[in-house]
Amino acid sequence: MKLAIESLKKSFIVGCSLLILAGISMRFYQINANIFFYYDEGMYLTHNIGFLDYMQMHPPAGFKQFIKYLEVCMHVALSDGKALWFFIANLRSFIFDVNAWFFTRLVSAIFGTLTLFLTYRFAQRYFHSAWIGLLALGLLAVFPSHVYYSRLGIQEALSTFCFLLGMYWYIFPKKFQLRTILSGVFFACVFFSNYRMIVIPALVFFVEIFGAFAQKRGVDWRKYVYNTLTFLAVVFLIGNIDHGANTKITFAWMFYQKHLAATQGKVEAELFNHFAYPYFIFRFETILFGLFFFGNIYLISRKEWKKLLPFALACCHMVIFSFALEKSVRFLCVVMPFMVMAVAGLIGYSWQKLPTVRWKNILLIVVCLMVGQQFLKSYHIMHFQSDYENAMMDLKKDDSLPTVLSTQFKVQQFFAMPRNTVAAMPHQINHLVMFFQRGYRYIVIDPQAYVSYTKDGARFSQPLQEPLNFILTNVPPKRVYEHFSPAMLERFVLEHNVNLRTSLAFLQKNQDNKLGKLYVYDIKESLAILVKYMQSQAR
Protein backbone atom coordinates (compact mmCIF):
# COMPACT_ATOMS: atom_id res chain seq x y z
CA MET A 1 0.00 0.00 0.00
CA LYS A 2 2.81 2.39 0.91
CA LEU A 3 4.59 1.57 -2.37
CA ALA A 4 1.40 2.37 -4.30
CA ILE A 5 1.04 5.70 -2.50
CA GLU A 6 4.68 6.61 -3.14
CA SER A 7 4.30 5.66 -6.80
CA LEU A 8 1.18 7.81 -7.07
CA LYS A 9 2.99 10.77 -5.48
CA LYS A 10 5.89 10.44 -7.92
CA SER A 11 3.49 10.20 -10.86
CA PHE A 12 1.66 13.29 -9.60
CA ILE A 13 4.90 15.28 -9.34
CA VAL A 14 6.04 14.16 -12.79
CA GLY A 15 2.63 14.90 -14.31
CA CYS A 16 2.44 18.39 -12.80
CA SER A 17 6.04 19.09 -13.83
CA LEU A 18 5.21 18.19 -17.43
CA LEU A 19 2.14 20.43 -17.32
CA ILE A 20 4.25 23.31 -15.99
CA LEU A 21 6.88 22.88 -18.72
CA ALA A 22 4.18 22.61 -21.36
CA GLY A 23 2.38 25.68 -20.00
CA ILE A 24 5.53 27.82 -20.00
CA SER A 25 6.40 26.62 -23.51
CA MET A 26 2.92 27.50 -24.76
CA ARG A 27 3.25 30.99 -23.33
CA PHE A 28 6.55 31.69 -25.10
CA TYR A 29 6.03 29.78 -28.36
CA GLN A 30 6.85 32.13 -31.29
CA ILE A 31 6.27 35.05 -28.94
CA ASN A 32 8.51 37.34 -31.03
CA ALA A 33 6.66 36.69 -34.30
CA ASN A 34 4.21 39.22 -35.76
CA ILE A 35 1.56 36.57 -36.35
CA PHE A 36 -0.92 37.20 -33.55
CA PHE A 37 -2.46 40.62 -33.14
CA TYR A 38 -6.03 40.90 -32.05
CA TYR A 39 -7.41 44.39 -31.35
CA ASP A 40 -6.18 46.76 -28.59
CA GLU A 41 -2.48 46.09 -29.24
CA GLY A 42 -2.65 48.77 -31.92
CA MET A 43 -3.85 51.36 -29.41
CA TYR A 44 -1.07 50.56 -26.93
CA LEU A 45 1.82 50.19 -29.36
CA THR A 46 1.05 53.27 -31.48
CA HIS A 47 0.59 55.42 -28.36
CA ASN A 48 3.26 58.15 -28.27
CA ILE A 49 4.61 56.76 -31.55
CA GLY A 50 5.80 60.16 -32.78
CA PHE A 51 8.16 60.61 -29.85
CA LEU A 52 9.32 57.00 -30.05
CA ASP A 53 10.17 57.49 -33.74
CA TYR A 54 12.11 60.63 -32.79
CA MET A 55 13.95 58.74 -30.05
CA GLN A 56 14.81 56.00 -32.54
CA MET A 57 16.49 58.57 -34.79
CA HIS A 58 18.10 60.43 -31.85
CA PRO A 59 19.08 57.82 -29.23
CA PRO A 60 20.05 59.15 -25.77
CA ALA A 61 23.62 60.46 -25.71
CA GLY A 62 24.08 59.78 -22.00
CA PHE A 63 22.40 58.80 -18.77
CA LYS A 64 20.82 62.23 -18.21
CA GLN A 65 19.20 62.23 -21.63
CA PHE A 66 18.07 58.64 -21.06
CA ILE A 67 16.28 59.76 -17.87
CA LYS A 68 14.76 62.71 -19.75
CA TYR A 69 13.38 60.36 -22.39
CA LEU A 70 11.93 58.14 -19.66
CA GLU A 71 10.29 61.17 -18.06
CA VAL A 72 8.67 62.12 -21.36
CA CYS A 73 7.32 58.57 -21.76
CA MET A 74 5.99 58.65 -18.19
CA HIS A 75 4.23 62.00 -18.61
CA VAL A 76 2.67 60.97 -21.92
CA ALA A 77 1.53 57.65 -20.43
CA LEU A 78 -0.11 59.48 -17.53
CA SER A 79 -2.18 61.48 -19.99
CA ASP A 80 -4.23 58.38 -20.73
CA GLY A 81 -5.98 55.56 -18.90
CA LYS A 82 -4.05 52.33 -18.23
CA ALA A 83 -0.93 54.47 -17.78
CA LEU A 84 1.31 51.66 -16.50
CA TRP A 85 0.70 49.53 -19.59
CA PHE A 86 1.24 52.46 -21.95
CA PHE A 87 4.53 53.21 -20.18
CA ILE A 88 5.66 49.58 -20.41
CA ALA A 89 4.77 49.51 -24.12
CA ASN A 90 7.01 52.56 -24.64
CA LEU A 91 9.96 50.78 -23.01
CA ARG A 92 10.42 48.66 -26.13
CA SER A 93 12.25 51.58 -27.73
CA PHE A 94 14.91 51.45 -24.98
CA ILE A 95 15.29 47.66 -25.00
CA PHE A 96 14.73 46.72 -28.67
CA ASP A 97 13.38 49.35 -31.09
CA VAL A 98 10.15 51.14 -31.87
CA ASN A 99 9.08 48.43 -34.33
CA ALA A 100 9.44 45.58 -31.80
CA TRP A 101 5.68 44.96 -31.93
CA PHE A 102 6.09 41.65 -30.07
CA PHE A 103 7.32 43.43 -26.92
CA THR A 104 4.01 43.64 -25.07
CA ARG A 105 3.36 39.97 -25.87
CA LEU A 106 6.73 39.11 -24.35
CA VAL A 107 5.87 41.12 -21.22
CA SER A 108 2.55 39.27 -20.96
CA ALA A 109 4.30 35.90 -21.28
CA ILE A 110 6.79 36.83 -18.54
CA PHE A 111 4.13 37.99 -16.08
CA GLY A 112 1.88 35.06 -17.01
CA THR A 113 4.72 32.69 -16.11
CA LEU A 114 5.49 34.50 -12.85
CA THR A 115 1.81 34.17 -11.93
CA LEU A 116 2.12 30.39 -12.16
CA PHE A 117 4.70 30.18 -9.39
CA LEU A 118 3.00 32.81 -7.26
CA THR A 119 -0.20 30.75 -7.52
CA TYR A 120 1.69 27.72 -6.19
CA ARG A 121 3.00 29.70 -3.23
CA PHE A 122 -0.42 31.21 -2.49
CA ALA A 123 -2.28 27.88 -2.63
CA GLN A 124 0.43 26.06 -0.70
CA ARG A 125 0.26 28.55 2.17
CA TYR A 126 -3.50 29.01 2.13
CA PHE A 127 -4.41 25.30 2.09
CA HIS A 128 -1.32 24.24 4.09
CA SER A 129 -0.58 21.68 1.40
CA ALA A 130 2.24 21.57 -1.14
CA TRP A 131 0.19 19.00 -3.08
CA ILE A 132 -2.75 21.37 -3.55
CA GLY A 133 -0.30 24.14 -4.43
CA LEU A 134 1.33 21.97 -7.08
CA LEU A 135 -2.05 20.94 -8.46
CA ALA A 136 -3.15 24.60 -8.67
CA LEU A 137 0.11 25.42 -10.47
CA GLY A 138 -0.38 22.57 -12.94
CA LEU A 139 -4.00 23.55 -13.62
CA LEU A 140 -3.13 27.20 -14.23
CA ALA A 141 -0.22 26.20 -16.49
CA VAL A 142 -2.64 24.76 -19.07
CA PHE A 143 -5.65 26.90 -18.18
CA PRO A 144 -6.87 27.97 -21.65
CA SER A 145 -7.78 31.57 -20.91
CA HIS A 146 -4.63 32.22 -18.89
CA VAL A 147 -2.48 30.82 -21.69
CA TYR A 148 -4.41 33.09 -24.06
CA TYR A 149 -3.90 36.27 -22.02
CA SER A 150 -0.25 35.36 -21.46
CA ARG A 151 0.23 35.41 -25.24
CA LEU A 152 -1.79 38.55 -25.94
CA GLY A 153 -0.23 42.01 -26.08
CA ILE A 154 -2.69 43.59 -23.67
CA GLN A 155 -2.39 44.22 -19.93
CA GLU A 156 -4.35 41.34 -18.43
CA ALA A 157 -1.39 39.11 -17.50
CA LEU A 158 0.35 42.03 -15.77
CA SER A 159 -2.74 43.09 -13.81
CA THR A 160 -3.41 39.46 -12.80
CA PHE A 161 0.10 39.08 -11.39
CA CYS A 162 -0.12 42.39 -9.48
CA PHE A 163 -3.58 41.55 -8.13
CA LEU A 164 -2.48 38.10 -6.97
CA LEU A 165 0.65 39.49 -5.31
CA GLY A 166 -1.41 42.23 -3.66
CA MET A 167 -3.83 39.65 -2.26
CA TYR A 168 -0.95 37.41 -1.17
CA TRP A 169 0.65 40.20 0.83
CA TYR A 170 -2.72 41.23 2.24
CA ILE A 171 -3.73 37.76 3.45
CA PHE A 172 -0.23 36.69 4.58
CA PRO A 173 0.68 37.58 7.27
CA LYS A 174 -2.51 37.64 9.33
CA LYS A 175 -1.63 40.86 11.16
CA PHE A 176 -0.72 44.31 9.88
CA GLN A 177 2.87 44.52 8.61
CA LEU A 178 4.91 46.38 6.00
CA ARG A 179 3.66 43.90 3.41
CA THR A 180 0.15 45.26 3.98
CA ILE A 181 1.39 48.61 2.63
CA LEU A 182 3.21 46.91 -0.27
CA SER A 183 -0.03 45.11 -1.03
CA GLY A 184 -1.76 48.47 -1.48
CA VAL A 185 1.02 49.59 -3.84
CA PHE A 186 0.56 46.53 -6.04
CA PHE A 187 -3.20 47.02 -6.01
CA ALA A 188 -2.53 50.53 -7.33
CA CYS A 189 -0.43 48.97 -10.11
CA VAL A 190 -3.48 46.91 -11.03
CA PHE A 191 -5.53 50.11 -11.28
CA PHE A 192 -2.91 51.84 -13.46
CA SER A 193 -3.00 48.90 -15.85
CA ASN A 194 -6.77 48.40 -15.69
CA TYR A 195 -8.86 51.31 -14.40
CA ARG A 196 -11.93 49.08 -13.97
CA MET A 197 -10.16 47.63 -10.94
CA ILE A 198 -11.02 50.74 -8.94
CA VAL A 199 -13.30 48.20 -7.22
CA ILE A 200 -10.28 46.63 -5.47
CA PRO A 201 -11.15 48.14 -2.04
CA ALA A 202 -14.55 46.43 -2.27
CA LEU A 203 -12.89 43.09 -3.11
CA VAL A 204 -10.39 43.47 -0.26
CA PHE A 205 -13.25 44.36 2.10
CA PHE A 206 -15.02 41.17 1.03
CA VAL A 207 -11.86 39.13 1.67
CA GLU A 208 -11.45 40.69 5.13
CA ILE A 209 -15.08 40.11 6.13
CA PHE A 210 -15.15 36.58 4.73
CA GLY A 211 -11.82 35.75 6.38
CA ALA A 212 -13.08 37.02 9.74
CA PHE A 213 -16.22 34.90 9.39
CA ALA A 214 -14.36 31.76 8.25
CA GLN A 215 -11.69 32.00 10.94
CA LYS A 216 -14.12 33.14 13.65
CA ARG A 217 -12.09 36.23 14.44
CA GLY A 218 -12.73 39.95 14.52
CA VAL A 219 -12.41 42.14 11.45
CA ASP A 220 -8.91 43.64 11.25
CA TRP A 221 -10.00 47.19 10.48
CA ARG A 222 -6.47 48.56 10.94
CA LYS A 223 -5.11 46.25 8.29
CA TYR A 224 -7.93 47.00 5.85
CA VAL A 225 -7.85 50.78 6.35
CA TYR A 226 -4.06 51.05 5.93
CA ASN A 227 -4.18 48.90 2.81
CA THR A 228 -7.00 50.91 1.26
CA LEU A 229 -5.45 54.26 2.18
CA THR A 230 -2.19 53.15 0.55
CA PHE A 231 -4.07 52.16 -2.60
CA LEU A 232 -5.95 55.47 -2.76
CA ALA A 233 -2.85 57.52 -1.91
CA VAL A 234 -0.84 55.99 -4.76
CA VAL A 235 -3.76 56.28 -7.19
CA PHE A 236 -4.34 59.97 -6.48
CA LEU A 237 -0.74 61.07 -5.84
CA ILE A 238 0.42 59.66 -9.17
CA GLY A 239 -2.86 60.56 -10.83
CA ASN A 240 -2.44 64.22 -9.85
CA ILE A 241 0.93 64.62 -11.56
CA ASP A 242 0.69 67.13 -14.43
CA HIS A 243 -2.29 68.88 -12.85
CA GLY A 244 -4.20 65.66 -12.38
CA ALA A 245 -4.08 64.57 -16.03
CA ASN A 246 -4.44 60.86 -15.32
CA THR A 247 -7.09 61.31 -12.63
CA LYS A 248 -9.18 63.56 -14.86
CA ILE A 249 -9.12 61.35 -17.93
CA THR A 250 -9.48 58.05 -16.06
CA PHE A 251 -12.37 59.10 -13.86
CA ALA A 252 -14.04 60.94 -16.75
CA TRP A 253 -13.93 57.69 -18.69
CA MET A 254 -15.27 55.72 -15.72
CA PHE A 255 -18.17 58.14 -15.29
CA TYR A 256 -18.86 57.86 -19.01
CA GLN A 257 -18.92 54.06 -18.66
CA LYS A 258 -21.32 54.44 -15.74
CA HIS A 259 -23.53 56.70 -17.89
CA LEU A 260 -23.55 54.11 -20.68
CA ALA A 261 -24.45 51.38 -18.20
CA ALA A 262 -27.31 53.52 -16.88
CA THR A 263 -28.69 54.30 -20.36
CA GLN A 264 -27.80 51.51 -22.80
CA GLY A 265 -27.71 49.05 -19.92
CA LYS A 266 -31.48 49.29 -19.59
CA VAL A 267 -31.79 47.78 -23.04
CA GLU A 268 -29.25 45.05 -22.29
CA ALA A 269 -30.42 44.33 -18.73
CA GLU A 270 -32.00 40.96 -19.32
CA LEU A 271 -31.38 38.27 -16.72
CA PHE A 272 -29.51 36.10 -19.24
CA ASN A 273 -26.70 38.68 -19.41
CA HIS A 274 -25.98 38.38 -15.69
CA PHE A 275 -24.96 34.76 -16.24
CA ALA A 276 -22.34 35.69 -18.84
CA TYR A 277 -19.35 34.95 -16.61
CA PRO A 278 -20.44 31.47 -15.47
CA TYR A 279 -21.20 30.76 -19.14
CA PHE A 280 -17.67 31.85 -20.13
CA ILE A 281 -16.18 29.44 -17.59
CA PHE A 282 -18.04 26.46 -19.01
CA ARG A 283 -17.46 27.50 -22.63
CA PHE A 284 -13.77 28.39 -22.52
CA GLU A 285 -12.35 26.37 -19.60
CA THR A 286 -14.29 23.12 -20.27
CA ILE A 287 -17.50 21.84 -18.74
CA LEU A 288 -15.60 19.66 -16.27
CA PHE A 289 -13.68 22.63 -14.90
CA GLY A 290 -16.94 24.55 -14.54
CA LEU A 291 -18.48 21.65 -12.62
CA PHE A 292 -15.47 21.43 -10.30
CA PHE A 293 -15.46 25.20 -9.79
CA PHE A 294 -19.14 25.49 -8.90
CA GLY A 295 -18.84 22.20 -7.04
CA ASN A 296 -17.32 24.33 -4.28
CA ILE A 297 -20.94 25.03 -3.31
CA TYR A 298 -20.84 21.56 -1.75
CA LEU A 299 -18.31 22.87 0.78
CA ILE A 300 -20.98 25.23 2.09
CA SER A 301 -23.03 22.25 3.24
CA ARG A 302 -19.91 20.90 4.97
CA LYS A 303 -19.28 24.34 6.55
CA GLU A 304 -15.72 24.34 5.21
CA TRP A 305 -15.73 28.13 5.12
CA LYS A 306 -11.98 28.67 5.07
CA LYS A 307 -11.55 26.51 1.98
CA LEU A 308 -14.20 28.58 0.21
CA LEU A 309 -12.35 31.90 0.07
CA PRO A 310 -10.86 31.50 -3.46
CA PHE A 311 -14.26 30.44 -4.81
CA ALA A 312 -16.08 33.19 -2.92
CA LEU A 313 -13.66 35.89 -4.12
CA ALA A 314 -14.03 34.80 -7.76
CA CYS A 315 -17.83 34.81 -7.42
CA CYS A 316 -17.81 38.23 -5.75
CA HIS A 317 -15.74 39.58 -8.64
CA MET A 318 -18.18 38.10 -11.17
CA VAL A 319 -21.18 39.61 -9.39
CA ILE A 320 -19.62 43.09 -9.34
CA PHE A 321 -18.71 43.02 -13.03
CA SER A 322 -22.05 41.54 -14.07
CA PHE A 323 -23.47 45.05 -13.55
CA ALA A 324 -21.05 46.63 -16.04
CA LEU A 325 -22.35 47.38 -19.53
CA GLU A 326 -19.62 45.34 -21.17
CA LYS A 327 -19.31 41.77 -19.92
CA SER A 328 -16.01 40.60 -21.32
CA VAL A 329 -14.10 37.39 -20.71
CA ARG A 330 -10.99 39.41 -19.89
CA PHE A 331 -12.67 40.83 -16.77
CA LEU A 332 -12.32 37.34 -15.27
CA CYS A 333 -8.57 37.24 -15.81
CA VAL A 334 -7.49 38.71 -12.45
CA VAL A 335 -9.36 35.99 -10.54
CA MET A 336 -8.29 33.04 -12.71
CA PRO A 337 -5.58 32.00 -10.21
CA PHE A 338 -8.27 31.92 -7.50
CA MET A 339 -10.51 29.86 -9.76
CA VAL A 340 -7.86 27.15 -10.17
CA MET A 341 -7.09 27.33 -6.44
CA ALA A 342 -10.78 26.73 -5.72
CA VAL A 343 -10.81 23.71 -8.03
CA ALA A 344 -7.52 22.35 -6.64
CA GLY A 345 -8.82 22.81 -3.10
CA LEU A 346 -12.03 20.91 -3.86
CA ILE A 347 -10.13 18.09 -5.57
CA GLY A 348 -7.78 17.82 -2.57
CA TYR A 349 -10.70 17.83 -0.14
CA SER A 350 -12.58 15.20 -2.17
CA TRP A 351 -9.49 12.99 -2.39
CA GLN A 352 -9.18 12.97 1.40
CA LYS A 353 -12.88 12.31 2.00
CA LEU A 354 -13.59 9.65 -0.62
CA PRO A 355 -14.02 6.35 1.20
CA THR A 356 -12.65 3.82 -1.30
CA VAL A 357 -9.83 3.44 -3.80
CA ARG A 358 -12.41 2.95 -6.55
CA TRP A 359 -13.91 6.41 -6.04
CA LYS A 360 -10.45 7.95 -5.86
CA ASN A 361 -9.57 6.33 -9.18
CA ILE A 362 -12.74 7.76 -10.72
CA LEU A 363 -11.82 11.22 -9.42
CA LEU A 364 -8.32 10.81 -10.84
CA ILE A 365 -9.69 9.84 -14.26
CA VAL A 366 -12.07 12.82 -14.33
CA VAL A 367 -9.27 15.23 -13.36
CA CYS A 368 -6.99 13.79 -16.05
CA LEU A 369 -9.78 14.12 -18.61
CA MET A 370 -10.33 17.76 -17.61
CA VAL A 371 -6.61 18.54 -17.83
CA GLY A 372 -6.40 16.80 -21.21
CA GLN A 373 -9.26 18.89 -22.60
CA GLN A 374 -7.69 22.08 -21.29
CA PHE A 375 -4.31 21.14 -22.75
CA LEU A 376 -5.85 20.67 -26.21
CA LYS A 377 -7.61 24.05 -25.98
CA SER A 378 -4.39 25.74 -24.89
CA TYR A 379 -2.43 24.01 -27.66
CA HIS A 380 -4.90 25.43 -30.17
CA ILE A 381 -4.55 28.90 -28.61
CA MET A 382 -0.78 28.62 -28.94
CA HIS A 383 -1.22 28.47 -32.73
CA PHE A 384 -3.64 31.40 -33.06
CA GLN A 385 -2.68 33.63 -36.02
CA SER A 386 -4.09 36.71 -37.70
CA ASP A 387 -3.47 38.09 -41.19
CA TYR A 388 -2.94 41.82 -40.66
CA GLU A 389 0.71 41.61 -41.70
CA ASN A 390 0.04 39.20 -44.58
CA ALA A 391 -2.54 41.56 -46.06
CA MET A 392 -0.14 44.52 -45.96
CA MET A 393 2.79 42.52 -47.35
CA ASP A 394 0.69 41.26 -50.27
CA LEU A 395 -0.51 44.79 -51.04
CA LYS A 396 3.12 45.94 -51.10
CA LYS A 397 3.83 43.35 -53.78
CA ASP A 398 1.25 45.04 -56.01
CA ASP A 399 1.95 48.60 -54.92
CA SER A 400 5.24 49.87 -53.49
CA LEU A 401 3.35 52.33 -51.26
CA PRO A 402 -0.18 51.02 -50.68
CA THR A 403 -2.65 53.46 -49.13
CA VAL A 404 -5.27 51.71 -47.04
CA LEU A 405 -8.49 52.45 -45.18
CA SER A 406 -8.93 49.78 -42.52
CA THR A 407 -11.48 48.87 -39.87
CA GLN A 408 -8.45 47.92 -37.71
CA PHE A 409 -6.10 50.65 -38.84
CA LYS A 410 -3.95 50.93 -35.71
CA VAL A 411 -2.74 47.33 -35.99
CA GLN A 412 -2.15 47.59 -39.74
CA GLN A 413 -0.11 50.76 -39.20
CA PHE A 414 2.53 48.45 -37.68
CA PHE A 415 3.34 47.29 -41.20
CA ALA A 416 3.15 50.61 -43.04
CA MET A 417 5.73 53.34 -43.49
CA PRO A 418 4.93 56.18 -43.40
CA ARG A 419 2.22 55.21 -40.93
CA ASN A 420 -0.35 57.67 -42.28
CA THR A 421 -0.66 55.54 -45.41
CA VAL A 422 -3.07 53.47 -43.30
CA ALA A 423 -6.09 55.35 -41.93
CA ALA A 424 -9.38 54.50 -40.25
CA MET A 425 -12.20 53.44 -42.53
CA PRO A 426 -14.65 56.39 -42.58
CA HIS A 427 -18.26 56.00 -41.49
CA GLN A 428 -19.83 58.02 -44.34
CA ILE A 429 -19.77 57.53 -48.11
CA ASN A 430 -18.79 61.15 -48.81
CA HIS A 431 -15.75 60.77 -46.54
CA LEU A 432 -14.77 57.62 -48.43
CA VAL A 433 -14.86 59.64 -51.66
CA MET A 434 -12.67 62.31 -50.04
CA PHE A 435 -10.07 59.72 -49.01
CA PHE A 436 -10.12 58.29 -52.55
CA GLN A 437 -9.49 61.76 -53.95
CA ARG A 438 -6.54 62.08 -51.57
CA GLY A 439 -5.00 58.93 -53.05
CA TYR A 440 -6.18 56.06 -50.85
CA ARG A 441 -6.64 52.91 -52.93
CA TYR A 442 -7.66 49.96 -50.74
CA ILE A 443 -10.21 49.03 -48.10
CA VAL A 444 -9.56 46.35 -45.48
CA ILE A 445 -12.56 44.96 -43.58
CA ASP A 446 -12.06 42.62 -40.63
CA PRO A 447 -14.20 41.45 -37.65
CA GLN A 448 -13.56 44.75 -35.85
CA ALA A 449 -16.19 46.18 -38.21
CA TYR A 450 -18.86 44.31 -36.22
CA VAL A 451 -17.79 46.23 -33.11
CA SER A 452 -17.34 49.74 -34.52
CA TYR A 453 -19.33 49.92 -37.78
CA THR A 454 -22.74 48.32 -37.21
CA LYS A 455 -25.78 50.13 -38.57
CA ASP A 456 -27.65 50.36 -35.27
CA GLY A 457 -24.51 50.93 -33.17
CA ALA A 458 -24.96 47.68 -31.22
CA ARG A 459 -22.02 45.29 -31.19
CA PHE A 460 -22.30 42.22 -33.43
CA SER A 461 -25.65 43.18 -34.88
CA GLN A 462 -26.12 43.11 -38.63
CA PRO A 463 -26.06 44.68 -41.16
CA LEU A 464 -23.03 46.95 -41.11
CA GLN A 465 -23.46 50.64 -41.83
CA GLU A 466 -23.02 51.87 -45.39
CA PRO A 467 -20.87 51.77 -47.41
CA LEU A 468 -19.34 48.71 -45.70
CA ASN A 469 -22.49 46.61 -46.01
CA PHE A 470 -22.81 47.41 -49.72
CA ILE A 471 -19.15 46.61 -50.36
CA LEU A 472 -19.30 43.27 -48.53
CA THR A 473 -22.52 42.32 -50.32
CA ASN A 474 -21.90 43.55 -53.88
CA VAL A 475 -18.19 44.07 -54.55
CA PRO A 476 -15.85 41.15 -55.33
CA PRO A 477 -12.87 41.30 -52.93
CA LYS A 478 -9.36 41.71 -54.25
CA ARG A 479 -8.08 39.24 -51.65
CA VAL A 480 -9.60 37.16 -48.86
CA TYR A 481 -7.68 35.86 -45.81
CA GLU A 482 -8.81 33.24 -43.31
CA HIS A 483 -7.63 35.61 -40.52
CA PHE A 484 -9.55 34.60 -37.36
CA SER A 485 -10.20 30.90 -36.91
CA PRO A 486 -13.64 30.02 -35.46
CA ALA A 487 -12.05 29.69 -32.00
CA MET A 488 -10.34 33.08 -32.36
CA LEU A 489 -13.54 34.75 -33.54
CA GLU A 490 -15.40 33.20 -30.61
CA ARG A 491 -12.98 34.79 -28.17
CA PHE A 492 -12.98 38.09 -30.07
CA VAL A 493 -16.77 38.31 -29.91
CA LEU A 494 -17.01 37.43 -26.23
CA GLU A 495 -14.11 39.80 -25.46
CA HIS A 496 -16.38 42.60 -26.71
CA ASN A 497 -19.63 41.20 -25.37
CA VAL A 498 -22.39 43.58 -24.30
CA ASN A 499 -25.49 41.51 -25.00
CA LEU A 500 -24.75 37.80 -24.64
CA ARG A 501 -27.77 36.73 -26.67
CA THR A 502 -26.73 38.97 -29.59
CA SER A 503 -23.11 37.79 -29.37
CA LEU A 504 -24.10 34.13 -29.45
CA ALA A 505 -26.50 34.74 -32.35
CA PHE A 506 -23.62 36.34 -34.27
CA LEU A 507 -21.40 33.31 -33.65
CA GLN A 508 -24.23 31.01 -34.71
CA LYS A 509 -24.29 32.73 -38.12
CA ASN A 510 -20.58 32.01 -38.63
CA GLN A 511 -21.07 28.48 -39.95
CA ASP A 512 -18.73 29.01 -42.93
CA ASN A 513 -16.37 31.36 -41.00
CA LYS A 514 -17.11 34.26 -43.38
CA LEU A 515 -17.46 36.59 -40.41
CA GLY A 516 -13.90 35.85 -39.25
CA LYS A 517 -12.24 36.56 -42.58
CA LEU A 518 -10.26 39.64 -43.61
CA TYR A 519 -11.29 41.19 -46.93
CA VAL A 520 -9.30 43.54 -49.16
CA TYR A 521 -11.18 45.70 -51.69
CA ASP A 522 -10.18 48.18 -54.37
CA ILE A 523 -11.73 51.58 -53.56
CA LYS A 524 -12.00 52.64 -57.21
CA GLU A 525 -13.85 49.47 -58.15
CA SER A 526 -16.06 49.70 -55.05
CA LEU A 527 -17.09 53.29 -55.83
CA ALA A 528 -17.75 52.46 -59.48
CA ILE A 529 -20.10 49.61 -58.53
CA LEU A 530 -21.75 51.83 -55.91
CA VAL A 531 -22.35 54.62 -58.47
CA LYS A 532 -23.88 52.16 -60.96
CA TYR A 533 -26.16 50.82 -58.25
CA MET A 534 -27.28 54.31 -57.21
CA GLN A 535 -27.94 55.24 -60.85
CA SER A 536 -30.02 52.10 -61.37
CA GLN A 537 -32.05 52.90 -58.27
CA ALA A 538 -32.66 56.46 -59.49
CA ARG A 539 -34.20 55.34 -62.79
| 178 and 282 inside one domain | yes
Q: Which of 353, 382, 411 is the last residue of a domain?
A: 382
Query: Over its length of 539 residues, how does the chain's per-residue pLDDT go in tens digits?
Result: 566 677 888 888 999 999 999 999 999 999 998 888 877 788 888 888 889 888 888 888 889 999 999 999 999 999 888 899 999 999 999 999 888 999 999 999 999 999 999 999 999 999 999 999 999 999 999 999 999 999 999 999 999 999 999 999 999 988 888 999 999 999 999 999 998 999 999 999 999 999 999 999 999 999 999 999 999 999 999 989 988 888 888 888 777 666 566 555 555 456 778 889 999 999 999 999 999 999 999 999 999 999 999 999 999 999 999 888 888 899 999 999 999 999 999 999 999 988 888 999 999 999 999 999 999 999 999 999 999 999 999 999 988 899 999 999 999 998 888 888 999 999 999 999 999 999 999 999 999 999 999 998 889 998 999 899 999 999 999 999 999 999 999 999 999 998 899 999 999 998 778 899 999 999 999 999 988 888 887 66
| 361 and 465 inside one domain | no
68 contacts 75 by C-beta, under 8 angstroms: no
> What residue type is 417 in one-letter code?
M
CA distance linking residue 431 with residue 445, whole number of Å: 16
Q: How many domains does the chain have?
A: 3
Q: Which of 382, 413, 435 is the last residue of a domain?
A: 382
CA distance linking residue 74 with residue 96, whole number of Å: 18
| 340 and 400 inside one domain | no
| 193 and 250 inside one domain | yes
| 305 and 199 inside one domain | yes
Q: Indicate yes or no: pTM above 0.85.
A: yes
Q: Which structural domain range is residue 511 located in?
A: 388-538
| 368 and 496 inside one domain | no
Which three-class secondary structure string do you get for 361-373? HHHHHHHHHHHHH
| 162 and 293 inside one domain | yes
In sequence order, which residues have a C-beta less than 8 Å from that of residue 509 and are 6 or more positions away? 462, 515
| 375 and 434 inside one domain | no
Provide the b/e sequence for 83-114 (b: ≥16 CB within 10 Å): bbbbbbbbebbeeeebbbbbbbbbbbbbbbbb
| 307 and 159 inside one domain | yes
| 158 and 273 inside one domain | yes
CA distance linking residue 14 with residue 469, whole number of Å: 54
| 17 and 87 inside one domain | no
Q: Which of 82, 99, 116 is the last residue of a domain?
A: 99
| 377 and 437 inside one domain | no
